[in-house]
Amino acid sequence: FGFIAAGQLRSYDADGSLRSTEAFPAVLQYYRHHAPPTSIVGQSYMQLGRLGLASYHFEECDEASFDRAYISYAAAPEAWRLDGDGVEGGGGLPPAHKPFEATSYDRTTRTFRGTVHWLPPGTFHGNARWEYEMVFAEDFGGIEGGSVVAFAADGRKLHTHLFGRDLVYFRYVHEEAELHAALRRQRAGVGWR
């Protein structure tokens, strides 16, 4: 049971007359709560409430190694294309599973570092390499600091995006995602399943 899918909360005045009725989950939204994590191990972080939209995944990592961390582009929009028409892989969507390289994690500062290389086959919007530093919130509910620094193929620094300002990421919570998906289906007239 991940969330309250139906029902009502009725409020009454002291004299017993009905004051209000609130519906689950249209107005009242509750999902099962878990204790907050104590690490990024086993977690995913998403932007705009969607996995696969450049979401960060640490599910397959352990405290000793973060070399299985990756970015998911499984739900990337059509406009997110690799550069390099005529180059193998160029002009296509980024891969659904793009691994981080040269990874490290400092448990004390809650800081993950990793690099993404787009060469070969081409660049991604002119970027050949991204160097990440992600500082996670104390409760691991999101990424509160750090940056992504983009470099051109010749090593020139192109730009820096800051977490918490340019990039806003929150931890993926399965029960919360189920609730939001059910609400979208209900609004579309599809029902709960």
pTM above 0.75, yes or no: yes
Residue with tokens 């919007």: 125
At 60-80, the pLDDT tens digits run 888 888 999 999 999 999 999
Which regions of the chain are under pLDDT 50?
86
Please tell me whether residue 182 adopts helix, strand or coil conformation: helix
Predicted local distance difference test score (pLDDT) of residue 90: 65
Across the chain, mean pLDDT equals 88
At 97-124, the pLDDT tens digits run 999 999 999 999 999 999 999 987 678 9
Please tell me whether residue 106 adopts helix, strand or coil conformation: strand
Distance CA 142, CA 159 (A): 23
Q: How far is CA 84 from CA 55, 90, 148, in A?
A: 24, 4, 22
The single-letter DSSP state of residue 47 is B
